[in-house]
Structure 1
């Protein structure tokens, strides 16, 4: 098969997969996770159930993929930064700012994340996603300690748990009451609070 044709097929598969994930996110936001079925996702996206099954195999695999895709690259530009204090602060401020865009994918992720506390079919996937997020946060704190920009007495795991809890909590508040959360202002405030918490008391200028 010629390379150009093969690339075209790959692009078609990627387009189909993206459309199915977008349809699943819409259904989660509109009616909740229990309303998501392979048939309804296919219908919403304009495909057959067979196409959905071919791409994901099961509802759980579809929801796993949705959770992963909706958070991948959520904060633009952070992935290109070196681990450390500044990347951590950029992530905090950028994450909260992105919540203000109220995208269907981010709203679906938060709804699924909340549902994962009581839904066994979601819990394993979201534990994995949260641990991956905490690992990135731990890397930032450890790098900051190593280069002297973060206090040496800080525990990376404690910070990772606290930051993740803060971001998810702000997201849920925004989901429930959008007018109560000015994401631009809150994002800046959170970043400044973390800068002070991680640097003050050691003689480091918090900037």
Structure 2
């Protein structure tokens, strides 16, 4: 019984240490960037020894992967909850998705910092591409129901295009809010963005054939 208690205690301490490391790494990566953040700084912020980070994650790259997955899980779960509860319109779903990203900015901030600062690092680039692919799938799944009225022959291609456009627009909304957070009117920005999205959706039948490769 005592051995079981000791084992449970070790697991609990290990889980608490891991959570503290993830929280510290997320904060420092968001504030200073990935390349400028050393493992010793993360250890200090988390209140652990540097060796504990390597024991828990193995390397800085694997810690980055864990941070990105943790932040992405939280963000995508919030998007899933929102789109289930919101209207069935493209503008409604896009608006609520944007509000999720603006209210909890860690995901896009980390993603954009990584994309800009370490394009020459193959491992980091793979992380960026993997998470971006996952984000695109989540956005496509959230918006796809709005395309139910389209011809089935073009629906899959249209969903892919709408997902690409939505990510571009969401990136723009996020950057706009970060650069001018005190003055930017989120409602006005979202009205403009969703207006563009609705216009693009109305033109999809004309756009889709032009984007498909020749037979």
Interval of TM-score (by shorter of Structure 1 and Structure 2): 0.7 to 0.9
Aligned length: 199
Distance 1:31 1:142, change over 3 A: closer
- Indicate yes or no: 2:69 matched with 1:68: yes
CA distance in 2, matches of 1:91, 1:9: 44
Match of 1:29 in 2: 30
Match of 1:111 among 110, 113, 118: 113
Superposed CA RMSD in Å reads: 3.6
CA distance in 2, matches of 1:201, 1:132: 23
Match of 1:190 in 2: 193
How far is the alpha carbon of 1:136 from its aligned partner?
2.6
CA deviations on 1:80-108 (whole Å, 9 max, x unpaired) are 456x9838655522332234436556533
Question: Gaps (5+ residues) in structure 1?
Answer: 203-207
Q: How does 1:30-69 map to 2 (within 5 A)?
A: 30-69=31-70
Question: Gaps (5+ residues) in structure 2?
Answer: 206-215
How far is the alpha carbon of 1:7 from its aligned partner?
6.6
How far is the alpha carbon of 1:4 from its aligned partner?
8.4
CA distance in 1, matches of 2:32, 2:142: 37
Distance 1:3 1:91, change over 3 A: farther
Between 1 and 2, higher relative CO (CA 8 Å, sep ≥ 6) is seen in: 1
Match of 2:21 in 1: 20
CA distance in 2, matches of 1:100, 1:137: 15
CA distance in 2, matches of 1:100, 1:141: 19
- 8 A Cα contact 2:88 2:145, kept in partner: no
How far is the alpha carbon of 1:124 from its aligned partner?
0.5
- 8 A Cα contact 1:99 1:174, kept in partner: no
Q: TM-score, normalised by structure 2?
A: 0.71
Distance 1:170 1:144, change over 3 A: closer
Match of 1:134 in 2: 136
- 8 A Cα contact 2:71 2:106, kept in partner: no
Match of 1:172 in 2: 175
How far is the alpha carbon of 1:49 from its aligned partner?
0.7
Match of 1:161 in 2: 164
What is the SS of the residue equivalent to 2:74? coil
